[in-house]
Amino acid sequence: MVLREDFLSRLRKLFGLNLYEVKVWTALLSRGISTAGELSDISGVPRSRTYDILESLEKKGFVVMKLGKPIKFIALKPEEVVERAKKNFFVEAKEKSKQLDEIKKSDVMKQLTELYMKGVKYVEPSDISAAVRGRHNIHNHLDMLLNNATKSITIVTTERGLSRKIEALRPTLEKLSKKGVKIRIAAPITPYNYKIAKEISKFAEVRHMKDFKARFTIIDNKHVLMMLMDDEEIHPNYDVGVWVNTEFLAGAMKKMFEQAWKNAVPLSKVKI
């Protein structure tokens, strides 16, 4: 039974297997029960590696060893494998999360921070910039920048961008608001996003800005994250943001924004 490479590649990503593992596993699924030698012939995996691969699959809960001579391996139902894989991933994720939390308190974090601080000394603030690709990555980067805010946050976004940003950043924005950070958000307010705009008005000043189509965030008048594409025309995976750490650009953009903000309509006066 010959399986397409794209199908095998998909299985590898879904179940966290390497190429040999997925080949041996699918070969066993096609037989139900088989010896290592037979599976080697079917899958094309070298015989010298097949036993190791089967032992690995057994530990992960994909197969069961049947004692006897010769030793045979039994395939488990795919539904059972999925459930076992889910449990394994949860356990691994929990363990990984624990390890990362422990790193924060260890000497490793101290050394990493020292390396970073030494490196920053050789970089001019105006030279610090980066391109961020993909909307998910943009939101993650923005969340990181927001967490370091101490004075002010200005967000200009689109009709649908308002809902997306609040979904991704609301906990951080609420936390910063309680710390006294001034938050202003401007976007076209429509029936689509009016409800969410009312909700966020509890911790941010929101205004309706109809004719100012842009997507950017200014943080503490130092950091600027600008989105380069129209979110109505670009797929989320191809969205691009540019982050710069420069008071010069942040100051210029803030002045431009202030004028538009004066002409914007307070949310309390928006009629939907």
CATH number for the domain harbouring residue 53: 1.10.10.10
Residue 115 placed within a domain: no
261 shares its domain with 153: yes
Residue 103 placed within a domain: no
133 shares its domain with 263: yes
* Strand 152-156 to 205-208 pairing: unpaired
66 shares its domain with 139: no
Residue 206 placed within a domain: yes
Residue 111 placed within a domain: no
Question: Would you say the C-alpha torsion 7, 8, 9, 12 has a positive or negative sign?
Answer: positive
Among the three residues 82, 97, 115, which one is the final residue of a domain in this structure?
A: 82
Among the three residues 55, 82, 109, which one is the final residue of a domain in this structure?
A: 82
77 shares its domain with 169: no
For residues 200-219, b (16+ Cβ closer than 10 Å) or e, as one string?
beebbebbbbeebebbbbbb
Tokens of residue 218, six digits: 């200014």
In this prediction, residue 271 carries a pLDDT of 85
Residue 31: C-alpha distances to residues 52, 74, 120 (Å): 19, 9, 59
211 shares its domain with 128: yes
| Gap between the Cα atoms of 252 and 172, Å rounded | 26
151 shares its domain with 249: yes
Residue 261: C-alpha distances to residues 158, 186, 208 (Å): 15, 8, 9
In this prediction, residue 28 carries a pLDDT of 93
Burial class of residue 265 in the structure, from the number of CB atoms within 10 Å of its CB (0-12 exposed, 13-18 middle, 19+ buried): middle
Residue 90 placed within a domain: no
154 shares its domain with 224: yes
Total domains in the fold of the chain? 2
Residue 183 placed within a domain: yes
Tokens of residue 195, six digits: 């409800």
In this prediction, residue 121 carries a pLDDT of 59
18 shares its domain with 136: no
SS (H, E, C) 149-172: CCCEEEEECCHHHHHHHHHHHHHH
For residue 241, the cross-strand partners are 132, 227
Residue 112 placed within a domain: no
pLDDT means per 10 residues, the chain with 272 residues, are 77 91 93 92 93 92 85 90 88 89 86 74 62 92 94 96 94 96 96 94 94 92 94 92 90 92 92 82
65 shares its domain with 129: no
264 shares its domain with 130: yes
Residue 161 placed within a domain: yes
Other CB atoms within 10 Å distance of the CB of residue 159: 17
144 shares its domain with 263: yes
133 shares its domain with 229: yes
Among the three residues 28, 59, 82, which one is the final residue of a domain in this structure?
A: 82
The domain of 61 spans 5-82
| Gap between the Cα atoms of 186 and 165, Å rounded | 12
CATH number for the domain harbouring residue 152: 3.30.870.10
